[in-house]
């Protein structure tokens, strides 16, 4: 009996080691996990006020989990599931005509939400695209991980012929998608990214001269009229097994003498929203996350009511909620984010843009 038990335990041990070794090999060899920064980027990292002991840090203390909710309870809730986390049928959306891609009015700003955090921005004659994510799963695996609610999209990556610049907020899989970048990098002139993400792009075939890496509060004159500014966010980064916070996460301001808009990426609520609003606002439009929140991780994603508060702090005119109704990334019902935000926006007299996906 003891011999049989030993054989069983040995088999389990060997299987565990084999699986672990396979995961390590996959992460090391698969290009989807990105690359490692080169010497010049490492030097820039070391000079950053937000970089210490080999990692980037938030401006204020940001625990990954709430002290009131244990990690094991959160995992149990994820496994157990929740009600209505996924819609019963496809979420309705309006198909985007290819002519939208060619809209370039030098005096106007026009935005088209493509779903999640992907927004097509026509800004005074130039077209930008934020966090392009056209994949079916927010995952390094094609068969596992959060699956997109809809099989089809309002605009497919292959339909995009030309983008002036792609703007990335951070390197999580639902914001920096390997296949989307591979499909789009030859169709754009510039990539604006936080420090460290350039290494991922270079590994995926993007020419280094196309990549602009910025630290928080750094400004880049896109042309004589338009400036892009990397501004703080309260979040984290990482794509692999041991690269947590090795690249920066950021929010973005696109500004001219006539217009100013804000793209928040992913962020928990923080005092810097007021600072950004005072320095670069008021904003004609803020694009802020509204989804993937939970009481178990209240510091890295905003509750809908905090989204409204951040918009007010930023001195925004119109609020476009993003990061909802696309992937099952939390425990809340899929429709809850916009319901809660709509209620708060009404109370605060916020102009809320809720387009079809």
Name the pLDDT band for 103 (thresholds 50, 70, 90). confident
User: Domain coordinates of the chain in residue numbers?
Assistant: 1-33, 34-352
pLDDT at 20 over 50: no
pLDDT in tens, 200-252: 999 999 999 999 999 999 999 999 999 999 999 999 999 998 999 999 999 99
Tokens of 44: 């820039």
Weakest mean pLDDT among 1-15, 139-153, 325-339: 1-15
Q: What is the pTM of this model?
A: 0.92
Mean pLDDT of 146-168: 91
Tokens of 78: 């994820």
Tokens of 69: 């909710």
pLDDT at 326 over 80: yes
Residue given tokens 């030098």 in the structure block: 106
Mean pLDDT of 78-101: 82
Residue 263: its pLDDT value, please?
A: 99
* Residue 3 CB burial class (10 angstroms; 0-12, 13-18, ≥19): exposed
Comparison of pLDDT for 231 and 84, the residue scoring more:
231
> For residues 151 and 141, what is the distance between their CA atoms, to the nearest angstrom?
17
Residue 66 DSSP SS3? coil
Average pLDDT, the chain: 91
Tokens of 50: 């937000």
> For residues 64 and 71, what is the distance between their CA atoms, to the nearest angstrom?
10
Residue 295 DSSP SS3? coil
Q: Provide CB contacts within 8 A for 83, sequence distance 6+.
A: 333
Task: Report the sign of the C-alpha dihedral through residues 93, 187, 131, 271, in that order.
Answer: negative
Percentage, residues of the chain above pLDDT 90:
76
Mean pLDDT of 148-173: 92
Residue given tokens 């998608």 in the structure block: 177
DSSP-assigned states of every residue in 140-185? SSSSSSPBPS-SS-SS-GGG---EEEEE----STTTS-HHHHHHHG
> For residues 95 and 258, what is the distance between their CA atoms, to the nearest angstrom?
30
Closest by Cα among 230, 236, 304 to 266: 236
Angle between helices 304-313 and 272-280 (to 10 degrees): 40
Weakest mean pLDDT among 97-101, 138-142, 283-287: 97-101
Backbone angles phi, psi at 24, to 5 degrees: -60, -45
Tokens of 143: 């068969």
Mean pLDDT of 100-124: 92
pLDDT at 15 over 60: no
pLDDT at 92 over 90: no
Q: Provide CB contacts within 8 A for 262, sequence distance 6+.
A: 231, 251, 252, 253, 254, 276, 280, 281, 283, 285, 286, 287, 288, 314, 316
Residue 94: its pLDDT value, please?
A: 87
CATH number of 34-352: 3.60.15.10
> For residues 210 and 207, what is the distance between their CA atoms, to the nearest angstrom?
6
| Bridge partners for 260 per DSSP | 255
Mean pLDDT of 60-79: 80
> For residues 171 and 267, what is the distance between their CA atoms, to the nearest angstrom?
13
pLDDT at 339 over 50: yes
Residue 95 DSSP SS3? coil
pLDDT in tens, 289-305: 999 999 999 999 999 99
Residue 9: its pLDDT value, please?
A: 54
pLDDT at 95 over 50: yes
> For residues 308 and 165, what is the distance between their CA atoms, to the nearest angstrom?
28
pLDDT in tens, 24-68: 554 555 899 999 999 999 999 999 999 999 999 999 999 998 877
Contacts 24+ apart (CB under 8 A), 203-210: 203/31, 203/34, 203/35, 204/31, 204/34, 204/178, 206/181, 210/185
pLDDT at 19 over 50: no
Cα radius of gyration (the chain): 21
């Amino acid at each position: 009996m003891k011999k049989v038990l030993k054989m069983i335990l040995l088999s389990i041990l060997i299987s565990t080691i084999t699986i672990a070794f396979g995961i390590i090999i996959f992460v090391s060899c698969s290009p989807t996990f990105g690359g490692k920064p080169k010497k010049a980027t490492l030097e820039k990292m070391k000079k950053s006020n937000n970089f210490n002991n080999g990692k980037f840090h938030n401006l204020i203390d940001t625990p990954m989990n709430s002290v009131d909710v244990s990690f094991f309870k959160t995992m149990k809730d994820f496994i157990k599931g929740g009600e209505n986390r996924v819609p019963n049928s496809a979420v309705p959306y309006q198909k985007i005509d290819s002519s939208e891609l060619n809209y370039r009015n030098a005096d106007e700003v026009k935005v088209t939400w493509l779903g999640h955090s992907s927004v097509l921005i026509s800004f005074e004659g130039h077209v930008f695209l934020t966090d392009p994510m056209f994949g079916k799963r927010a995952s390094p695996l094609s068969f596992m991980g959060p699956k997109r609610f809809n099989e089809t999209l309002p605009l497919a990556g292959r339909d995009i012929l030309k983008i002036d610049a792609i703007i990335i907020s951070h390197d999580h899989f639902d914001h920096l998608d390997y296949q989307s970048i591979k499909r789009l990098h030859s169709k754009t002139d510039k990539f604006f990214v936080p420090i460290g993400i350039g290494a991922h792009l270079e590994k995926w075939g993007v020419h280094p001269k196309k990549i602009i890496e910025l630290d928080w509060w750094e400004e880049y004159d896109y042309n004589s009229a338009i400036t892009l500014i990397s501004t703080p966010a309260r979040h984290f980064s990482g794509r692999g097994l041991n690269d947590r916070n090795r690249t920066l996460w950021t929010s973005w301001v696109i500004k001219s003498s006539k217009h100013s808009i804000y793209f928040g990426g992913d962020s928990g609520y923080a005092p810097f929203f007021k600072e950004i609003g005072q320095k670069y606002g008021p904003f004609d439009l803020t694009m802020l996350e509204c989804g993937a929140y939970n009481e178990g991780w209240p510091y890295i994603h905003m509750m809908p009511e905090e989204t409204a508060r951040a918009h007010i702090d930023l001195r925004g005119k119109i609020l476009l909620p993003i990061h909802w109704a696309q992937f099952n990334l939390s425990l809340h019902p899929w429709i809850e984010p916009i319901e809660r935000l709509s209620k708060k926006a009404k109370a605060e007299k916020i102009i809320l843009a809720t387009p079809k996906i």
